[in-house]
Amino acid sequence: MNKYAIPIIITLLISGLNAAAQGGNRFFPEKDLITTGIYYYPEHWNENQWERDIKKIAGMGYEFVHLAEFAWFKMEPEEGKFEFDWLDKVMALCAKYNLKVMMCTPSAATPAWMRVKYPETFVMDGHYIRAEHGTRGLGSIVNPAYRRFVAAIVTEMAKRYGQHKNVIGWQLDNEPDAKPDYSPSSQEAFRQWLRNKYKTIEALNAAWGAAFWSQWYDSFDQVIIPNTNLVGWWGNNPHALLDFKRYSADAQAEFLDFQAATLRSYISKEQFITTNYTAVSTGADPRRTNKLDFATYTAYPNGGTNNIGELGFRLGNSKVILFAAEYYKNVGGVSGVMEIQPGPVNWGSYNPLLLPGTVRMWLYHTFAAGGKLASSYRFRQINYSAEQYHAGVILPDGVTPSPGGEEYMQFMKEIKALRKQYKPGATMPATLAARSTAILWNLENYWTIDRQKQTWQWDTWNYPIKFLEIAKSFGAPVDVIPETADLSKYRFVIVPAYEMADSALVKKWSEYAANGGHLIITCRTATKDRMGHFWEAEWAAPISTLIGAQVKATDMLSNSGKGEILMGSAHYSWNNWADLLAPDKNTETLAVFDNQFYKGKAAVVKHKVGKGSITYIGVDTDDSKLEQDVLHGIYTGAGATTENYPPGIYVYWRDGFYVAVNYSSDNYTMNMPATANIMVGEKILQPGGVLVWTE
Ligand code: GAL
């Protein structure tokens, strides 16, 4: 057996946060606030330009260089033959110009020789067509040969650079996405995952409801990965598909943990291990890893979508960093952006120029949300290949900073000035702490709802983000947390469309409210058990006592249909989703339906529980006005003051600094004390503007 051979790890069931891995912040001295870096691919350029480039990177103000991603062909030009002299030269140049290095494992792009001799190292799609060499992200992460090669290259890199003083840390792979893999290796790994989970085939048949359409299995060997491409999304078993998502996410996490464990045997304790998930990661679940120090995300807010107001198409989608910065903080407690769009990209529906200031605003947004590192893809715009139209921070001439590059330089200069103003030990102002909010969210609910949306108007990904935006409009500090987190830290906990639940979780929610918390639960919560089955009981049975009402039925309208709602004397409209509620005796009805045949039925209810309260919002509206007003009543009723920031104005507090960004198309005048000390920007935030101040 090859010395790198590893068994396929089949125990993929263990998931959840590793509490021990919450210490990612130790790698980032607080006084540095945020550290910046840039992706550099020396293998794309003539060696005689390397020194010029590295010197330029340092001169622009970057603090680290990101190296070796996708460079497998150069580090292992033939099977088992490793060459690092070229990388050593680049490392020496980085040291010469005082730049740290973030090393990246190259597993996302395999060399041509591997495909010739080991074609099984690639994923297969749902038609059993095997992927091939020539692009990236298509390795079959459960294939033993691929795993052997990854172990080998990661080991060689770790031995060579694991004790290197200049290496601050490692990024694993690239944008892990738990790709569906229908290859023979994956079929076998999936069956093994099922054996571990269900133990008996009877248990699987019950969980999958396999009596339906003669799906019944006599043994695990008969099971295949449910093939969405062949059968169609509506005709497949949702429980089997949910397990396939879980298996794929577990396999992805286990692959990252396997790389991390390989590195750990060689690298210094001063080097961190992370990976870079996409901001909108619908397959990979960062919370399932337990050997990484923290998770980072990649942010490409502008891919040619409309966004807020007439300038929105240049400013980008304000929700991207907003959500990712909070969500990825769950792992290791660090927020960091590994790639940030430096200008127009090549893959948007169209790729306009960014409004001047936009890249800087995105950078400040990541900083505001607690970011400890901000890196950008990429240094030089490449003159050839698939991404030749993609901006870099340097133009195709190789030497001139692009507009995004200029903005990076400005940001780095300003951060260096802010570091001088940093005072350790600042605590969050009481007005902000009084608004502290958590949003409970997990990918499993995304998977199950998105498969059975019931109405195309349901926007599964953005539904929790709508509540994040509402809480931010109040100026609240908001965390996006897993259900295992301690809720007692938060005055308000929002549970948006948490479809799969169990009685233990509902008990936890109930205790939170009894102890003085304000719980807000929305439609589509606890309607299914953890396998995605309905309860053999009333609708949403586990929460009916909790919310003090029964969900009697659900309605939805066409997109032009107009459902009306009355709350006090205020009128609202809806057409996406409406739960018709029957409140208990002691439950207050906050809003009722005001048309349709069920006019007068309750839509939003609230009741007191112990020292706190529980509100159930049974409606999803397009403009969110109803939800906004309901939440406003809850916050003010609980004694919290609120701001009223318009869409796209986000204000944060971190390390003693207030930071505001403007994604809207209008000027916004910040309401701040006359004594406030403005450090960056102006009181009137222009579109794409930023403001940093202390009070
Ligand atoms: C990212 C990816 C990078 C680069 C970039 C282009 O998603 O991680 O490698 O391809 O997109 O925008």
Binding site feature residues for substrate: 136, 174, 347
Q: What is the pLDDT of residue 236?
A: 84
Residue 21's pLDDT band (cuts 50, 70, 90): very low
Q: What is the pLDDT of residue 233?
A: 58
Indicate the average pLDDT of the chain: 95
Tokens of 671: 């309401």
Provide the total of helices (H) and of strands (E) in the chain, helices listed first. Answer: 19, 26
What atom of ligand 1 comes closest to residue 341's alpha carbon? 12
Spatial separation of the C-alpha atoms in residues 682 and 169, rounded to whole Å: 36
Pairing, β 100-104 against β 167-172: parallel
Using DSSP's 3-state secondary structure scheme, residue 46 falls into coil
Pocket probe for ligand 1: among 138, 298, 388, the residue whose CB has the most ligand atoms within 8 Å is 298
> pLDDT digits over 200-220, tens only?
999 999 999 999 999 999 999
Residue 330's pLDDT band (cuts 50, 70, 90): confident
CA of 278 to the centre of ligand 1 (A): 9
Spatial separation of the C-alpha atoms in residues 502 and 229, rounded to whole Å: 32
Q: Are 626 and 637 in contact (CB under 8 A)?
A: no
CA of 346 to the centre of ligand 1 (A): 10
Burial class (CB in 10 A: 0-12, 13-18, 19+), 261: middle
Q: What is the pLDDT of residue 387?
A: 97
Q: Are 286 and 326 in contact (CB under 8 A)?
A: no
**Residues linked to residue 616 through DSSP beta bridges, in sequence order:** 521, 605
Query: Which residues contact residue 438 at a Cβ distance below 8 angstroms, ignoring those fewer than 6 apart?
Result: 478, 479, 480, 481, 485, 487, 489, 490, 492, 493, 494
What atom of ligand 1 comes closest to residue 174's alpha carbon? 8
CA of 594 to the centre of ligand 1 (A): 48
Residue closest by Cα to atom 12 of ligand 1: 345
Share of the chain above pLDDT 90, in %: 94
Average pLDDT over residues 4-29: 54
Residue closest by Cα to atom 4 of ligand 1: 377
Q: Is 483 part of the annotated catalytic residue set?
A: no
CA of 341 to the centre of ligand 1 (A): 9
> pLDDT digits over 391-436, tens only?
999 999 999 999 999 999 999 999 999 999 999 999 999 999 999 9
> pLDDT digits over 639-651, tens only?
999 999 999 999 9
**Residues linked to residue 553 through DSSP beta bridges, in sequence order:** 580
Q: What is the pLDDT of residue 229?
A: 67
Residue 2 has pLDDT above 60, yes or no: no
CA of 174 to the centre of ligand 1 (A): 9
What atom of ligand 1 comes closest to residue 300's alpha carbon? 12
pTM over 0.85: yes
Pocket probe for ligand 1: among 70, 173, 175, the residue whose CB has the most ligand atoms within 8 Å is 175
Residue type, 584: D
**Please, what is the Cα angle at 543 between 537 and 548, to 5 degrees?**
110
Measure the N-to-C terminal CA separation of the chain; round to a whole number of Å: 65
The ligand 1 site (C-beta within 6 Å) comprises 174-175, 298, 300, 339, 345, 377, 387, 390
Q: What is the pLDDT of residue 222?
A: 97
What atom of ligand 1 comes closest to residue 346's alpha carbon? 12
CA of 387 to the centre of ligand 1 (A): 9
**Residues linked to residue 129 through DSSP beta bridges, in sequence order:** none
Spatial separation of the C-alpha atoms in residues 658 and 651, rounded to whole Å: 7
Spatial separation of the C-alpha atoms in residues 373 and 385, rounded to whole Å: 29
Residue closest by Cα to atom 10 of ligand 1: 387
Spatial separation of the C-alpha atoms in residues 419 and 637, rounded to whole Å: 39
Residue 321's pLDDT band (cuts 50, 70, 90): very high
Average pLDDT over residues 321-331: 96
Among the listed residues 76, 175, 407, 414, the single catalytic one is 175
What atom of ligand 1 comes closest to residue 69's alpha carbon? 9
Q: Are 607 and 548 in contact (CB under 8 A)?
A: yes
Residue closest by Cα to atom 3 of ligand 1: 377
Q: What is the pLDDT of residue 458?
A: 97
What atom of ligand 1 comes closest to residue 175's alpha carbon? 8
**With the C-alpha atoms ordered 504, 505, 509, 512, is the resulting torsion angle positive or negative?**
positive
96 φ/ψ angles, rounded to the nearest 5 degrees: -60, -40
Average pLDDT over residues 88-105: 98
What atom of ligand 1 comes closest to residue 278's alpha carbon? 7
Pairing, β 518-522 against β 684-685: unpaired
Q: What is the pLDDT of residue 234?
A: 63
| 574-580-582-583 Cα dihedral, nearest 10 degrees | -30
**Residues linked to residue 122 through DSSP beta bridges, in sequence order:** 139
Q: What is the pLDDT of residue 99?
A: 98
Question: Radius of gyration over alpha carbons of the chain, in Å?
Answer: 26
Q: What is the pLDDT of residue 232?
A: 61
Spatial separation of the C-alpha atoms in residues 244 and 367, rounded to whole Å: 36
**Please, what is the Cα angle at 677 between 676 and 682, to 5 degrees?**
95
Spatial separation of the C-alpha atoms in residues 297 and 304, rounded to whole Å: 20
Pocket probe for ligand 1: among 278, 382, 385, 387, the residue whose CB has the most ligand atoms within 8 Å is 387
Tokens of 230: 């062949």
60 φ/ψ angles, rounded to the nearest 5 degrees: -75, -15
Residue 20's pLDDT band (cuts 50, 70, 90): very low
Among the listed residues 63, 156, 339, 469, the single catalytic one is 339
Query: Which residues contact residue 316 at a Cβ distance below 8 angstroms, ignoring those fewer than 6 apart?
Result: 301, 302, 305, 307, 341, 354, 358, 362, 663
Query: Which residues contact residue 537 at a Cβ distance below 8 angstroms, ignoring those fewer than 6 apart?
Result: none
Domains and CATH numbers, the chain: 38-181+255-421 (3.20.20.80), 435-637 (3.40.50.880), 649-694 (2.60.40.1180)
Average pLDDT over residues 266-272: 98
Spatial separation of the C-alpha atoms in residues 146 and 141, rounded to whole Å: 7
Could you tell me how many residues make up the chain?
695
CA of 451 to the centre of ligand 1 (A): 27
Average pLDDT over residues 376-404: 97
Average pLDDT over residues 483-508: 98
Q: What is the pLDDT of residue 397?
A: 98
CA of 359 to the centre of ligand 1 (A): 16
Local structure of residue 352 (DSSP, 8 states): P
Q: Is 339 part of the annotated catalytic residue set?
A: yes
Query: Which residues contact residue 297 at a Cβ distance below 8 angstroms, ignoring those fewer than 6 apart?
Result: 276, 277, 278, 279, 281, 324, 325, 327, 328, 336, 337, 338
User: Dmax over Cα atoms in the chain, in whole Å?
Assistant: 80
Residue closest to 330 by CA, chosen among 298, 366, 283, 288: 288
Binding site feature residues: 136, 174, 347
Q: What is the pLDDT of residue 194?
A: 98
Residue closest to 162 by CA, chosen among 257, 262, 70, 26: 262
Pocket probe for ligand 1: among 171, 174, 377, 382, the residue whose CB has the most ligand atoms within 8 Å is 377
Residue 74's pLDDT band (cuts 50, 70, 90): very high
Tokens of 198: 């269900």
Average pLDDT over residues 253-262: 98
378 preceded by a cis bond (ω within 30 of 0): yes
